[in-house]
Structure 1
Amino acid sequence: MTAPSDTPPPQGRKVIQAYLKSLDSSPGVYRMLDAESRVLYVGKARNLRARVSSYARPTGHSARISRMIANTASMMFLTTKTETEALLLEQNLIKQLKPKFNVLLRDDKSFPNILVTADSDYPQIKKHRGAKKEKGSYYGPFASAGAVNRTLNQLQRVFLLRDCSNAMFDSRTRPCLQHQIKRCSAPCVGKISPEDYRQTVRDAERFLCGKSTEIQGRLAREMEEASAAMEFERAAALRDRIKALTQVQTAQGINPQGVKEADIIALHMESGQACVQVFFIRANQNWGNRDYYPRVGADVEEAEVLEAFIGQFYDTREPPRQLILSNEIENPDLMAEALSGKLGRKVDLLVPKRGEKAELVDGALRNARESLARKMAETATQTKLLQGLADAFDLPGPPQRIEVYDNSHIQGTNAVGAMIVAGPEGMMKNQYRKFNIRGDDLTPGDDFGMMKEVLHRRFKRLIKEDPDRSRGLWPDLLLIDGGAGQVSAVASIMAQHGVEDIPMVGVAKGIDRDAGKEEFHRVGKRVMALRHNDPVLYFVQRLRDEAHRFAIGTHRAKRAKGVSATPLDDVPGVGAARKRALLAHFGSAKAVGRANLSDLKAVEGVSDALAETIYGYFHERG
């Protein structure tokens, strides 16, 4: 029997060169992996053999590519029919695998839209995020929830559309506050006819399509007619709407005349960092902007960064008709073809040199430059604070990942645990986690037991998902909201899982429970405190307060869900839509439980079989 060899597997150019024999000139995607099979890089190629042979050359590589080649122990290949397919597959794999040497877009949140519903004689206008399953007309995307809320407020002020839920609308017997402050025409109590309300909805939709001038002209004519007919109250109302519409147009800022639908994308790079600013132009209106900070290397070219950003940004989003860019990208024709195929109509990529579009790009570029400067200043401050934290608590180095834990409950009910995460770039909100406390053997209000359950589940999952600690999911420091008791409880859980090398600090309120008098508890060490004006103390307070905010918000959401819960939630086959139909038909869950079989069958959307299930659920329990 041959003894296993301790010789490490070969890496570098020779490994890459060995693959050339089995490759042809097909387009496709390649992956470069290290000795532990972690993906280092994902790339696409028009000709796989030619691209891979370029990595086998001894010279002509940037420092980043040279390091990548040196660490390559194996490769994987996927051929595609076209280079466009390869581009789409490449960006999809980059987002999934997050390779070390690729440009990576780290923020992948969806964008909100405005929805005008189509399930009522009096349509509702509201914010919508996620899959477009509800019937109605969607307008967007908007850059943020704030941009949507501002537009909704403007629409309500001008068009007086309702934003209340159908349940609230159906139950009103008198106008609500929105009507009194002139934000709603009160269709719930018949203050406006269905025909007139539908006209205002059409006007709002025209506004969202960029036809505000047409609306103003019609309102002006109607005001003149009302005034001539001596309907002065109606004329005054129309005058107020015209005035509000004018104010909305003035407040929107950037309203390009020659750009109906486009995303303005500008890139600024400095000191190995990048900021991409995206402005959303729809219906000749500015629907907000957002900045992104993709992960880049010091020697990456702007064309590569911008192409990678566009590919990943539109991987799960619908592109507009035009992308107006600050820089050329490596494969503009290929990217345009890929985006056009996704949209089902032509998408143009432009890099304007003069005119209105160039001015729009200059504005976006200025925003990108200023945003990156702020980000770099914040990062420098954060670096100092992390070093100060290491010095204060005798850590081996500045922590790259801090996890902060807190619990929230009311006398043990609706108990939740919360974990927030912070690092060199501030709060890492996509890493936050919530835990529904489900320990049946816990005494209500047992904070120690709750903290033990949360940390037990956290470490159990960490050991399963990242056993060798290679994925960066393990914390360098734990901050626990509490004193010696919580620290002891967590220490027992860490020992149970064999975790002995992660520092832990309990943050207790201290004397009189005043901010600034916090005491810090560590296993086997004396209680300590920091100077009242120490920046590290303020930093720890911010972390603790953020954990408390997240825990309280999670608890309130759970409590609110519990308040709205009904026995119908436990009936097999009754989802949200059928639950609404049953409550609308009978008025309450109690009435549903008392209903006979024939009445249940009469409810729209409830089949005979489901009616029997509901009837059996309530009557067999008795």
Structure 2
Amino acid sequence: MPDTLPPTPAKTGHDCIQGYLKSLDSSPGVYRMLDAESRVLYVGKAHNLKARVSNYARPSGHSRRIARMISETASMMFLTTRTETEALLLEQNLIKQLKPRYNVLLRDDKSFPNILVTKDHRFPQIRKHRGRKSVKGSYYGPFASAGAVNRTLNQLQKVFLLRNCSDAMYSSRTRPCLLYQIKRCAAPCTGEISEQDYAGLVADAERFLSGRSTKVQETLAAQMAEAAEAMEFERAAILRDRIKALTQVQTAQGINPRGVPEADVVALHMEGGQACVQVFFIRANQNWGNKDFYPRVAEAEASEVLQAFLGQFYDGKQPPRRLILSHPIDDPDLMAEALSQKAGRKVAIDVPKRGEKAELVAGAARNARESLARKMAETATQGRLLRGLAEAFGLDSPPQRVEVYDNSHIQGTNAVGGMIVAGPDGFEKSAYRKFNIKGEDLTPGDDFGMMTEVLTRRLSRLIKEDPDRQSGSWPDLLLIDGGPGQVSAVQKVLEELGVPDIAMVGVAKGIDRDAGKEEFHRPGQRPFALRHNDPVLYFIQRLRDEAHRFAIGTHRAKRAKSMSANPLDDVPGVGGARKRALLAHFGSAKAVTRANLSDLKAVDGISDALAETIYDFFHAG
């Protein structure tokens, strides 16, 4: 059913909500509460829309958060669904899209890495994989971080000797690489191991990653004994080293529950209006790492926070067979049904009180408590630095969003601009942006022109997407890498776009470009410096260095891409197969660009029409 939006009542709060009851029935669905500016305040789901909305129409009995939300409500929107499970899934999807102010919101929702054993090659490769599972192979995970994957892969290479090189590198080898020499690879690329024996290593690795490591160890131990008895002492030593490496993998995992083959352990700790959710990934009876999250809790209860976290966390991820929670949630049966529907198999939800599962939860809860304490200490420090920034630059209040800009290029080539963002929670890396400099009329190396282009594009987009400055994406302070020239250029952009009220400071290197002697430039004011040991100065240096690191990294990536670019990539109608045919015929892309029409027509798979297209592409004008 499409969204229904009755005429907006003139009243707000309880009276406004009361006006919708006549048009509602007992269907399940999702509701949205909007303020007078039609901004979404809250998204909720209901088994019975009329009953749920009637609760909001009552003038009393609400928490402070809900009472505030009701008082701001000027209109509502409704969407009915066939089942409450559909409503739950839709609710979490809308929360992630709209980010309403009064909902619990998961702010860090990145994908997690897996270990991939490829299956599209005679000699499978083992490697880290993140993102869509589009490559043919077996996936094992998720792991909490790239570091957890890398540590495990490092040990698995010692145990199972599987290759991690790309197929292109594999096919180009004429002798074993260094990994073979240090006993990290069986070197199938040069025939040092048979296909059958390599397949046995792959099978052992997959048994281990599936939780059947005992069988692997028993097999290796038996093989070592046989080798020793046959006086093949070198082979026995190799097998001994593999068993030792396998034991190290298991020891490094830390928590290895015997009775929990596959689960996510999710523990919540709340304190001082903030929350930390700690997630431990248990797969194949092994701990594959843990990660902490800091959702925006909006004064919610623990049960609501944890339920909202689960709905948003698994919105784009495959849930495990079991979730082990520290707190009960509002609708455990409904959440289990929704996650089971998403996974295509049963997903169980437990809140254990004793036994091994309770011990796992206690460990995760301890980590959540300690992580939140560190986070709150860091936030307090960050708050002091932001207050110091406001005092140093004469701002009315501590900035909640600081944007720092830097450019990077080599004599004007592959020029990019970088923007990093910092706020009360530190660096906000999901908000970082890169800008490929597009201005064709810029003089190579024109830093003022590049800064003008970057700020014009950034602020123009903000003006278009959020003219009322309600999204939290507008900067309170701009820090520009440069002196009076850059400051003048940016000030001109701010005035032309009609936003001269945004505070802006240029950070120049100062005398001899030494760190600690920075000069700060503001429009219409004399430059000044901070004392050498001022914590605010160190903070500004960290901000500038992070912007420089980001801009340099972006520039290097762009330069590497341009150096490896193939002129044939941009020719219409030339895909991978035809590109290979042209390169095989002419020997290089450069030779293709110089070829005459008759030679192009002689290439297998290149029609006369396509040959003319290729010729015209390189000889036009």
- TM-score (norm. length: structure 1): 0.94
What residue number does 2:114 align with?
Answer: 113
Structure 2 Cα separation of the partners of residues 452 and 620 of structure 1: 34
Q: Which amino acid aligns with 2:198?
A: Y
Alignment RMSD (CA, Å)? 1.9
Q: Secondary structure at the match of 1:185?
A: coil
The reply on whether 1:248 has 2:249 as its aligned counterpart is yes
- 1:177 corresponds to which letter in structure 2? L
> Residues 348 and 458 (structure 1 numbering): CA distance in 2 closer, same or farther, change over 3 Å?
same
Q: CA deviation at 1:227?
A: 2.1
**Distance in 2 between residues matched to 1:574 and 1:225, nearest whole Å:** 57
Q: Secondary structure at the match of 2:208?
A: helix
Tell me, what secondary structure is at the counterpart of 1:467? coil
Contact 2:571/2:617, CA 8 A, preserved across alignment: no
Q: Distance in 2 between matches of 1:113 and 1:612?
A: 45
Give the distance between the partners of 1:184 and 1:528, measured in 2 at CA: 59
Partners of 1:533 and 1:575 lie apart in 2 by 59
The corresponding residue for 2:521 is 521
1:47-92 superposed Cα distances (whole Å, 9 cap, x missing partner): 1111111111111011111100100000011111111111111111
Contact 1:26–1:48, Cα closer than 8 Å, also in 2? yes
The offset of 1:223, in angstroms, is 1.5
Q: Does the 8 Å CA contact 1:571/1:614 hold for their aligned counterparts?
A: no
1:452 matched residue in structure 2 = 452
For 1:530-609, list aligned pairs within 5 A: 530-574=530-574, 588-590=588-590, 600-601=604-605
SS of equivalent to 1:214? helix
Q: Please list, as runs of the form range in 1=range in 2, the aligned pairs for 1:405-554 lying within 5 A after superposition.
A: 405-554=405-554
SS in 2 for 1:93: helix
Whichever residue aligns with residue 618 of structure 2, its letter is R
Q: Work out whether residues 210 and 284 of structure 2, in 8 Å CA contact, stay in contact via their aligned partners in 1.
A: yes
Q: CA deviation at 1:621?
A: 3.2
Q: Does 2:165 align with 1:168?
A: no
Instruction: Show the counterpart of 1:605.
Output: none
Pair 1:621-2:618 in alignment: yes
Partner-residue secondary structure (3-state), 1:315? coil
Q: Who is 1:294 aligned against?
A: 295
* Cα pair 1:277 1:291 within 8 Å, conserved: yes
Question: What is residue 23 of structure 1 aligned with on the other side?
Answer: 24
| Rounded Cα–Cα distance in structure 1 between residues aligned with 2:587 and 2:176 | 21
* 1:178 lines up with 2:175 in the alignment: no
Work out whether residues 327 and 351 of structure 1, in 8 Å CA contact, stay in contact via their aligned partners in 2: yes
Equivalent in the alignment of 2:15:
14
What is the CA distance between 1:195 and its match in structure 2?
1.7
Between the aligned partners of 1:279 and 1:613, the Cα distance in structure 2 is 55
User: Would you say the 8 A contact 1:451–1:490 is kept in 2?
Assistant: yes
Q: Give SS of 2:33's match.
A: strand
CA shift, 1:10, in A, is 2.1
- Change beyond 3 A, Cα 1:100–1:552: same
Shift of 1:463: 0.7
State the one-letter code of the partner of 2:218.
G
Equivalence for 1:61: 62
Aligned to 1:395: 395
Give 1:34's aligned residue. Answer: 35
1:292-347 CA-to-partner distances (Å, cap 9, x unmatched) read 0010123x111011001001111111100000000100000111111111111111
Secondary structure of 1:418's aligned partner = strand
User: 1:159 corresponds to which letter in structure 2?
Assistant: F
Q: Which residue of 2 aligns with 1:331?
A: 331
Amino acid at match of 2:12: Q
Structure 2 matches for 1:122-271, cutoff 5 A?
122-271=123-272
Contact (CA 8 Å) 2:385, 2:539: kept in 1 or not? yes
Corresponding position: 1:318 with 2:318: yes
Pairs aligned (count) = 607
- Code of the residue aligned with 2:419 in structure 1: it is M
**What's the secondary structure of 1:280's corresponding residue?**
strand
Q: What CA distance in whole angstroms lies between the structure 2 residues aligned with 1:290 and 1:49?
A: 39
The CA deviation at 1:380 is: 0.5
DSSP 3-state at the match of 1:419: strand
CA contact (8 A) 2:405 2:417 kept: yes
Shift in Å, 1:466: 0.6
Q: Residue type of the partner of 1:433?
A: R
Amino acid at match of 2:247: T
Q: Which residue of 1 aligns with 2:350?
A: 350
Taking the aligned partners of 1:184 and 1:331, their CA distance within structure 2 comes to 50
CA distance in 2, matches of 1:122, 1:598: 37
Q: Is the 8 A contact 1:9 1:35 kept in 2?
A: no
- Whether the 8 Å contact between 2:407 and 2:451 is mirrored in structure 1 is yes
Partner of 2:3: none
Gaps of 5+ in 2: 1-8
- Separation in structure 1 between the aligned mates of residue 418 and residue 307 of structure 2, nearest angstrom: 37
Q: Helix, strand or coil for the counterpart of 1:499?
A: coil
The 1:276/1:158 distance shift into structure 2, 3 A limit, reads same
Q: Is the 8 A contact 2:42 2:102 kept in 1?
A: yes
Shift in CA distance, 537/614, structure 1 to aligned 2, threshold 3 Å: farther
Secondary structure of the 2:19 match is helix
Q: 2:78 aligned with 1:77, yes or no? A: yes
2-structure distance, mates of 1:310, 1:525: 52
Contact 2:600 2:611 in 1 (8 A): no
Cα distance change of structure 1 residues 212 and 115 upon mapping to structure 2, 3 Å threshold: same
- Following superposition, the deviation at residue 588 of structure 1 comes to 4.5
SS at match of 2:498: coil
After superposition, the C-alpha distances for 1:415-458 in whole angstroms (9 at most, x for unaligned) are: 10000011111111111000001111111111111111101111
> CA 1:212–1:613 in structure 2 vs 1: closer, same or farther (change >3 Å)?
farther
Deviations 1:546-592 (A, max 9, x none): 00110011011111111211112112244568767876898743576
Secondary structure, counterpart of 2:545 in structure 1: helix
Report the 3-state secondary structure (helix = DSSP H, G, I; strand = E; otherwise coil) of the residue aligned with 1:256.
coil
Counterpart secondary structure, 1:290: strand
Residues 507 and 518 of structure 2 are in contact (CA less than 8 Å); yes or no, is this contact kept in structure 1?
A: yes
Structure 2 CA distance for aligned equivalents of residues 107 and 585 of structure 1: 50
Deviation at 1:264, TM superposition (A): 0.3
> Could you tell which deviates more after superposition, 94-103 or 116-125?
116-125
Q: Contact 1:264 / 1:361 at 8 angstroms: preserved in 2?
A: yes
Paired with 1:460 and 1:616, the residues of 2 have a C-alpha distance of: 39
- Give the 3-state SS of the residue equivalent to 1:451 in structure 2: helix
CA drift of 1:240 comes to: 1.1
Preserved CA contact (<8 Å) 2:411 2:444: yes
Cα separation, 1, equivalents of 2:165 and 2:568: 24
The residue aligned with 2:364 is: 364
TM-score (norm 2): 0.94
Instruction: State the distance in 2 between where 1:560 and 1:479 align.
Output: 28
Displacement, 1:204? 1.1
Matches of 1:612 and 1:173, distance apart in 2: 41
